[in-house]
Each structure stands twice: as C-alpha cells, then as structure tokens.
Amino acid sequence: MIAFDVIRELREERHWSQEEMAERLGMSKNGYAKIERGESNPNIERLHQIAQTLGVDMIELLRTNDKNVVVQTQNHNANYHYNHYANNELLQAEIERMNLIIAHQKEIIEQKDEQIHMLKSIIKKHDPSAI
C-alpha cells in the first residue's frame, strides 16, 4: 500500500509546495494533491518518478507490516518492477508460480544442452577436426 503521508512528509522536508512538486513531476497541482490525499493511486511508473524526485528508494513510499511483502526486481533493461503481497496466501501463490517458472527454465536449459551435444556429435562425424 502506498504511504501517502510519507510522500507529503518528504515533500515538506524539502520545503516544496504541492505546486512545486507537481511541476517537478510534470503534472497538475490538483492531480498531485489527489495523490497526497490518497484519492488517486499512482501507477508504478509515477510512484518511481515521485521517489526519484524526492531522492528516495521507492520502497520507502510503500507501507508494509508483518503481513505484507514487497518485492523489487530489475529486468535487463534496468526497469524496476514492484509486487505487493498483502497476505500469506498471495505470497505462497507467487512463490509457487516462481518455482514453476524456474523448473520450466531448467527444462529448457537441459533441452538446449542436449541439442548442443547432438549438434557437436553431428559436426564431429562430418569433420572431426572442427571440434
């Protein structure tokens, strides 16, 4: 869950008005004010932009407790992805999903290794000096 009060407090620590903050984010004052009041939930990209503008990690803008887990991942394009799990059932389902993905990736790697081995055997039969 987004900690709207933390966003406001961080902005105020910098002595920025809502209008200044909105300007830094390239949005209307009214649109930004709705975010601070919790009337509008920013998407991940906007939340990341707010965090960058405030000079904090996006995790600091998310409210967590003992039952919440926030996972930050980064893909090869340096894009950050955040997933929020509000209870153990959601987290367990995500863990199972990730385990299936890992198992599938291992199967694909094994298949590729077998194909490489077969191709090397074929090449060796036709040109023993190639390998």
13 band by pLDDT with thresholds 50, 70 and 90: very high
Between residues 4 and 72, which one has the greater pLDDT? 4
Whether residue 117 is found in the same domain as residue 99: yes
Structural domain span for residue 92: 87-131
Whether residue 70 is found in the same domain as residue 103: no
Q: Is pLDDT above 60 for 40?
A: yes
Whether residue 72 is found in the same domain as residue 46: yes
At residue 71, the pLDDT reads: 55
Whether residue 75 is found in the same domain as residue 18: yes
Whether residue 50 is found in the same domain as residue 76: yes
Final residue in a domain of this structure, among 70, 86, 102: 86
Between residues 91 and 21, which one has the greater pLDDT? 21
What is the DSSP annotation of 8-59? HHHHHHTT--HHHHHHHHTS-HHHHHHHHHTSS---HHHHHHHHHHHTS-GG
At residue 50, the pLDDT reads: 94
Q: Is pLDDT above 70 for 87?
A: no
Whether residue 18 is found in the same domain as residue 79: yes
Residue 18 structure tokens: 């809502």
82 band by pLDDT with thresholds 50, 70 and 90: low
Whether residue 35 is found in the same domain as residue 98: no
Whether residue 52 is found in the same domain as residue 15: yes
pLDDT digits (tens, 9 = 90+) for 52-73: 999 998 878 876 554 555 555 5
At residue 129, the pLDDT reads: 78
Asked if 62 and 84 count as a contact pair (C-beta separation under 8 A), the reply is yes
